[in-house]
Structure 1
Amino acid sequence: MKIRTIYLFLVILIINACTSTNNEIELIAGDLGINMNERGRITHLFDLEKGSDYLHPDSVSFLIRMRYEGEIIHPAAMDLNEIDNILSFHFTGERVVEIKMKEHKDYMSFELFNIKGSDTPDLLIWGPIFTSIGETIGETIGVVRNTEFAIGIQSLNPKTLGGYPWLENDVMPEMDYFDQKDYSDLKKGGIAHTLYRIEAARPVEEGSAIHAYCRRRYEDRRIANWGYDNYLAKPFADRGLIGSSIALFGCQPDKVLPTISAIEQEESLPHPELNGVWSKLAPEASSAYMIMGFGEDDFDRALSYCEQAGLKYLYHGGPFETWGHFKLKESFFPEGRESLKRCVDKADKRGISIGLHTLSNFITPNDAYVSPVPDHRLAETGYSVLSKAIDPSSKEILIIDPSSFNQFRNNYLKAFRIGNEIIRYAAVSETEPWTLLDCQRGAFGTFPARHSRSDTVFKLADHAYKVFLSNPELTLEIAENIAQLYNETGVRQISFDGLEGCRSTGLGNYGEILFTTSWFNALDDDIKAHYIADASRTSHYFWHIFTRMNWGEPWYAGFRESQTEYRLKNQKYFDRNYIPNMLGWFLMKPETSLEDIEWLLARSAAFNAGYAFVTSYDALEKNGFTNEILKAIAMWENARMNDIFSAEQKAIMEDVANEFQLTKSDDDAYQLKRIHTYRLSHEYRQKQPGEPVTNSMEFQNPGAEQLLSFILTAKKGIVINPQMEISGNRLITIPVKLNEGEHLKFDGEYASVYSPQWQLLKSISLDRSILIIRPGTQSIEISSNFKDNEGEMLLEIRLDGETYLID
């Protein structure tokens, strides 16, 4: 092992030293030299190739810190056993923590293997190690980098959490650090809520910090958790701090992923693949996919639509009758898993993989874990005992301590368990004797029973989805249930939605990691060699298991507007954490336009980001442009996956205001055409008699002379004979009546009237000579009659711009 004892006069030419008598050791972690003095303080972080020192000059860094009796302290001394490669850190009070080191080609690993002393610490903190690197901070992956060098930390087992113990519940601050102005107190969380968290790396003034930690969990703890101020976190046997382990490394930025790949393989961490390629490097990792409800009876239709869109993954958003044991809905899969497996096998022959949506450890009340006999491993927020016996008909139940029952912030089912009976209650008395009021006996198909004085009353944890949750043991079992389903059927795509539900374990992020790790470990080798996984949350160790994240939902606004800013911010997060890019879910309705789809596809190409194309048989059959939409998806996705777009083209497409069309010529060459769009709304307004009611705007024709292509939409009411005056001297009246939601689309050749679902209703002729526009600045004024003097019309101008020929 390259551990060198160094005297500071040897490095005085590189950095000022305190004295020449304080000897140090240097540890070699890939291309990173870590110098520590005899107190265990890190004094240098050298790029061994270029000599640059990346230690933050204004911060104090140690390899480890410990918490004894509620106080986090750093070592007072450190010594090295070079024969056994053991670092012994000495703390006040004759306490010693021994760390085993091992040098590898690309990194150095550290493992806590012994603690000596009269008392036992409850926290081990790796770091924080403060660096002067602040350009790119991968908060999840634990890598900070600039253009010259990268420094990283990796947790080598699930219990070593990437992050810092800001909170006793082990939930990391959820924030986008670009929105933060003050990094001094991360307990508060971020200005804007995100689904990613400050974990293994974080920004500091003029630099960054990397860190991890491990907690001893041998006693009951009362913590703020899951919306409760007083949540019981029970002991969890994982050997405590013993065995906590990390890797440290430094390398050139382009070597980060190969280094982490080597760490995964040498340390037996999860290392999933996609068709023989590590999933973090596989182009297929960012594949777009189709989400729709399908069953065995109509599966051929679903496959045909998926093939028409050129997509390789078909995902079912709601296949389960129950969560917990994951019984499939008979309406979709009449013979359960056998039906699903037949679908998977049929899809596989056509080159399509099947995915299923899960809610992680959520347990529906109709699942066998709840009814008719509740599993005693359902998560509990706390407990009390009966102060008076009850019979099967008792509606008021007296308990000793109400503290676990009178918290209603995240208490949706208001349920508790006594023995094998689940009981619901409406409220808790305000004074003693503490009484659970208006109780429903034998809830969720359990059976009312007699219970004795002093029997334990367990308050059950639940969620707004009206589901129960799991304790650590049951959490692991549920994860294995999902893995068994995948092994049996060959399903290869999953989303761990609701992963935050695993905080019901009282373990915070650790509970989420245990769930996903248990799932991964229970997979057979065939599924491990080809799966795609995402989730509702990331975490440092989970990075090794998930393929990507796909956040952004379509339910909150229009196709282009729903969470758009959030989707774009996610791309920056993905880039700095080496996560394949995804744009989230986009919903195709019967009313969705081809232009909206092309807007999405341009963004997908810009960020090399996949997406979920959410649709249904109803939408596909009613939308008049379904064939064109699916054809466009296939063309753009094929082009993106073959990386045909230049960096310049991608940069232009990143701007959501820019629109494009992609076509293919007869010789299979791609043509990328920029479309310049301008929108003008016109609505009825009451004015003086004779005063015209119009709206106008100026716009640019950036191309050659061309016909004015446009879409007119009756946004509200009935539009009658709309008019457009172009450049103040050409007026065209369009002889048409558009009912609410209908469109008139002129593409330079045809003027066609469409229903709200884009079904062709009729075509009309227009005087094309009026619609010719020259290059440069133009003006347009629009007006219309509205039935009953009420309505709104939207004009969208679409002009051809630059065309890029791509061989």
Structure 2
Amino acid sequence: MNKSEIIKPIKNDKMNPKMKTTVLQFFLLIFLITSCSVEKGEQFPLEKWTMTINNKGKIIELKDNSTGMNHLLPERESWLLTLKQDTVILKPQQASFQKDKQTLTLNFENNISVQVIIQPKKDHITFEVASVSSEDGIDALIWGPYYTNLNNSIGEVVGIVQGEEFTLGLQALNQKTLGGYPWTDDDFLPQLDIFSQSDSENMEKEEGTPYTLYSVEAAKPVHNGSSLQAYTRNRSHDRVIKNWGHEKYLAPAYNDGGLVGSKIALFGCATENTLHTIGEIEVAEGLPHPTINGEWVKTSPVINSSYLIMDFNEQNMEECLKYTKLSGFNYLYHSHPFASWGHFPLLQNQFPNGYDGMKACVKKAEAEGIHIGTHTLTNFINTNDPYVTPIPDKRLAKVGSSVLTKAIGTTETEIEIESPDYFNQFQNNNLRSVVVDDEIIRYGSVSENAPWKLLDCQRGAFGTTAAEHKTGSSIGKLADHAYKVFLGNAELDKEIAENIADFMNYTGVRMLDFDGVEGTSSTGMGKYGEALMVSQWYDHLNDDLKSHFLVGSSRTQHYLWHIYSRMNWGEPWYAGFRESQTEYRLANQKFYKRNLMPGMLGWFRLTESTPVEDIEWMMTRSAGYNAGFAFVSSLQTIHSNGSAEEIFRIMNLWETARLAGLFPEDVREKMRDTSTEFRMKKTDDGSLMLTEVFSHKFEHENKTRQPGEPLYSTFEFENTSKDQALGMIITAQNADVSDIKMEINNYKTLSFPLVLKKDQSIKIMGTGEAVVYDKNWNKLQSFTVENSEILVTKGKQTVTFDCKFRNTGDNANVKVELILLGDDTKIN
């Protein structure tokens, strides 16, 4: 640019009219641009955060008041409320605020309007649907999704999205407001680990991702952030949906007031105060707020205490209490006390005095400071229960119905029906049962062509009476489960919930698991069915039970987070003590933490041959994750395991220390590594001494080699700790062994002058004494081993092992475990 092109400043006030007009037009344009960029709306300033909704019904601000930062995700739109019509999401076109009434009217296309009541509180703000001009054609009303840039931690079930310093959350304030989004018609919500998915928008479980018992609900990750969401389904009419393993399932209409009454709370707080804030919302909004000994259950130290599962009865109660006290646990749990599910009569051989017998057991236990729990399968109904026989309850859940096209007598085994729909689905058809009037009929198959017939029928099934049925009679396919049980509809489920509560109210049982709660999907309402049943149970408890109970479940549900004390997932039936679902158990701890739930490690089982070392491994994990567990045992197993009483004392020592919070975080971090092991003992002065254990495991196999070739095995390991005597456990597997010799570092030799029978073990713990045990750890003999106290210096070590095998079976070998100890640490 040359000098003549430089615009020079105007030195006088006098501007020619043309230039003056141009300048005025310029400033008017700037004003219009600026004013258009500022969205008008209603601001709701709360103590910790501020929310702003514009005049279209879109949220334009979720601001942390302490930093002034708006945590909305800028690239996504966050509407306060939308409507779902088939596959179309309707967004509001206009929002009108009435401050004096604290109401907001949202106008949609097709002349639909929704009125929302707004109530700002200290740290949260509630939104409730007061009216909908017309619900015709509306499938669901959706709160959000509200997109945020907070993704340090996301609690998908409890409904929180967290940054380092600030948290936003959503709480559904009644059962029909489901945490989540109408991703599926069955409202079961996607049961998957969203954090393992390659695409956080994909609500179908990807191949190779872990199996979970929890679902994606009120919060989820999105690209660059997170979202919060909830919805209410319009249930005013019957729907045919994919549900409970069936392509066609009739979800019946349910009268719950429709979309009106759908209600949520949004909250913001400092991250460290999240749990406390949710507790305040529970109290302020009348949500369930259970306590134990006067303290909110979510903050009570009792919430993740371990418990003993042992099938006590009226005869053995005193001995079961003995071992519960020896373990240091305060809860004793019966795995299967009921003769049937539905009405829940007790097993006569265990409780001949029925509920009074259970009540007497509870009284004995509570006199010792121990509380009683029982296991059940929620809405499962046994075929011998009065809900089924001799007259089936009209409220048994049905997959769907048809009608008879031809009358039948009492003996026909082929039944003509109008439509095969609902009857020819066999993927989850475990009892193949239909109900006509008061008769249950089982069938083998369905004809392939019209006239449609149920074939190979068994009349008067499950103790019902075969009867005549007229043309046009309704015939319903009963919903069932692989456990060979029937299920209830929503009303029957609520009655069953009251039956469970009545049992607990009468007997004083304070602990329960809603195992199989996913069976409430028989209602056709998914997570809503769960919420209705469990809430009915909670509401029916007496005040004494509400003041102290522990309850878990086999599935999660956003609203029920307030009722459930904890989840305890992980089962011992599938592999060895240390191997059964270990990855799954530990992965669950991450889920619990991000959803503000207490840590629990699942069930572990004492067998006749469980060694002390496995128990210390389990207790190390329990301390590391500050997680309780269930310990499954029986009096027969305890009597057979020679180490049982020592095992119970070890659990007592560790559990008492964990609940007292004695383990420092640096030690707990190391304990979360499954390869680490620790021992703990009480010293003479009463303090606790923790010692890390370094275990090196090898196997010496029965070999066949060419003449002259050595048969011994060579093992190498490293002593990273101090100089010490070597501990060891030697176990004969699938053979008897003799002439056992070990050579340490090619010059120190240990010999064992005995025949070690199959499954027997020799244990030396650095004292010079060797003890021989049978496979159940009953002591058989002890003897002194020469050179057993030879010191192993720090550094790399070499051990050779040899023996003679006799009476060999398949895979005969000797298992050798070499044990070294680390430094001692006082923890109190």
TM range (shorter): over 0.9
Aligned residue number for residue 763 of structure 2: 745
Shift of 1:688: 1.2
- Quick one: distance in 2 between partners of 1:130 and 1:697? 57
Shift of 1:536: 0.4
- Quick one: distance in 1 between partners of 2:313 and 2:549? 21
Aligned residue number for residue 12 of structure 2: none
Aligned residue number for residue 317 of structure 1: 335
CA offsets 1:516-566 (integer angstroms, 9 cap, x no match): 100000001110110000010111001000000000000000000000000
Q: What is the SS of the residue equivalent to 1:568? A: helix
Aligned residue number for residue 469 of structure 2: 451
Amino acid paired to 1:80: F
* Deviates most, 126-135 or 73-82: 73-82
Alignment counterpart, residue 637 of structure 1, candidates 632, 637, 655? 655
Matched, 1:782 2:801: yes
- Quick one: distance in 2 between partners of 1:202 and 1:161? 14
Q: What is the SS of the residue equivalent to 1:61? A: coil
- Quick one: distance in 1 between partners of 2:606 and 2:291? 31
Kept after mapping to 2: 8 A contact 1:166/1:187: no
Kept after mapping to 2: 8 A contact 1:28/1:107: no
Change (3 A) 1:517 1:189: farther
Matched, 1:179 2:179: no
- Quick one: distance in 2 between partners of 1:167 and 1:611? 34
Amino acid paired to 2:656: N
Matched, 1:40 2:46: no
Kept after mapping to 2: 8 A contact 1:195/1:536: yes
Amino acid paired to 1:301: E
Alignment counterpart, residue 472 of structure 1, candidates 467, 487, 490? 490
Q: What is the SS of the residue equivalent to 1:323? A: coil
- Quick one: distance in 1 between partners of 2:781 and 2:568? 40
Matched, 1:671 2:689: yes
Matched, 1:799 2:820: yes
Shift of 1:79: 1.6
Alignment counterpart, residue 268 of structure 2, candidates 250, 268, 287? 250
- Quick one: distance in 1 between partners of 2:198 and 2:35? 34
TM norm structure 2: 0.94
CA offsets 1:349-407 (integer angstroms, 9 cap, x no match): 11000000010000001100001111010000001111111111111111111111110
Matched, 1:618 2:644: no
Aligned residue number for residue 699 of structure 1: 717
Aligned residue number for residue 112 of structure 2: 95
CA offsets 1:579-631 (integer angstroms, 9 cap, x no match): 01100000001100111011111111111110001000111101001111010
Q: What is the SS of the residue equivalent to 1:260? A: helix
Amino acid paired to 1:436: L
Aligned residue number for residue 299 of structure 2: 281
Change (3 A) 1:189 1:214: farther
Change (3 A) 1:31 1:800: same
Q: What is the SS of the residue equivalent to 2:409? A: coil
Aligned residue number for residue 263 of structure 1: 281
Amino acid paired to 1:800: L
Aligned residue number for residue 417 of structure 1: 435
Taking only the aligned residue pairs, the percentage that are identical comes to 44
Shift of 1:20: 4.7
Aligned residue number for residue 220 of structure 1: 238
- Quick one: distance in 2 between partners of 1:326 and 1:57? 54
Change (3 A) 1:589 1:273: same
CA offsets 1:185-204 (integer angstroms, 9 cap, x no match): 21446722200111000011
Alignment counterpart, residue 374 of structure 2, candidates 341, 348, 356? 356
Amino acid paired to 2:705: K
- Quick one: distance in 1 between partners of 2:551 and 2:61? 39
Change (3 A) 1:29 1:237: farther
Change (3 A) 1:624 1:369: same
Matched, 1:132 2:149: yes
Alignment counterpart, residue 536 of structure 1, candidates 554, 572, 577? 554
Alignment of 1:501-540 (within 5 A): 501-540=519-558
Matched, 1:75 2:92: yes
Change (3 A) 1:598 1:188: closer
TM norm structure 1: 0.96
Shift of 1:694: 3.2
Kept after mapping to 2: 8 A contact 1:680/1:794: yes
- Quick one: distance in 2 between partners of 1:177 and 1:779? 47
Kept after mapping to 1: 8 A contact 2:688/2:826: yes
Kept after mapping to 2: 8 A contact 1:28/1:108: no
Amino acid paired to 1:141: V
Shift of 1:346: 0.9
- Quick one: distance in 1 between partners of 2:269 and 2:153? 14
Shift of 1:654: 0.6
- Quick one: distance in 1 between partners of 2:788 and 2:552? 54
Amino acid paired to 1:792: N
Gaps of 5+ in 1: 1-11
CA offsets 1:707-750 (integer angstroms, 9 cap, x no match): 11011112222222332221122232322322222111111122
Aligned residue number for residue 608 of structure 2: 590
Aligned residue number for residue 5 of structure 1: none
- Quick one: distance in 2 between partners of 1:67 and 1:635? 56
Q: What is the SS of the residue equivalent to 2:70? A: coil
Q: What is the SS of the residue equivalent to 1:500? A: helix
Q: Paired residues, what number? A: 793
Amino acid paired to 2:41: E
Matched, 1:156 2:177: no
Kept after mapping to 1: 8 A contact 2:192/2:205: no
Aligned residue number for residue 571 of structure 2: 553
- Quick one: distance in 2 between partners of 1:208 and 1:693? 62
Alignment counterpart, residue 73 of structure 2, candidates 53, 56, 59? 56
Alignment of 1:423-438 (within 5 A): 423-438=441-456
Alignment counterpart, residue 247 of structure 2, candidates 223, 226, 229? 229
Kept after mapping to 2: 8 A contact 1:416/1:424: yes
Matched, 1:759 2:778: yes
Kept after mapping to 2: 8 A contact 1:31/1:249: no
Aligned Cα root-mean-square deviation (Å):
1.5
* Deviates most, 431-440 or 344-353: 431-440
Amino acid paired to 1:341: K
The structure that has the greater radius of gyration is 2
Kept after mapping to 2: 8 A contact 1:30/1:108: no
Kept after mapping to 2: 8 A contact 1:553/1:584: yes
Kept after mapping to 1: 8 A contact 2:750/2:788: no
Shift of 1:33: 1.4
Aligned residue number for residue 5 of structure 2: none
Q: What is the SS of the residue equivalent to 2:237? A: coil
Matched, 1:307 2:325: yes
* Deviates most, 678-687 or 158-167: 678-687
Kept after mapping to 1: 8 A contact 2:388/2:462: yes
Aligned residue number for residue 792 of structure 2: 773
Alignment counterpart, residue 378 of structure 1, candidates 372, 390, 396? 396
Alignment counterpart, residue 187 of structure 2, candidates 150, 155, 170? 170
CA offsets 1:320-342 (integer angstroms, 9 cap, x no match): 00100000001111110000001
Kept after mapping to 1: 8 A contact 2:382/2:484: yes
Kept after mapping to 2: 8 A contact 1:677/1:798: yes
Alignment counterpart, residue 600 of structure 1, candidates 618, 622, 626? 618
Alignment counterpart, residue 328 of structure 1, candidates 346, 355, 358? 346
* Deviates most, 701-710 or 501-510: 701-710
Amino acid paired to 2:757: N
Kept after mapping to 2: 8 A contact 1:163/1:199: yes
Kept after mapping to 1: 8 A contact 2:553/2:567: yes
Change (3 A) 1:460 1:17: farther
Kept after mapping to 2: 8 A contact 1:289/1:314: yes
Kept after mapping to 1: 8 A contact 2:372/2:511: yes
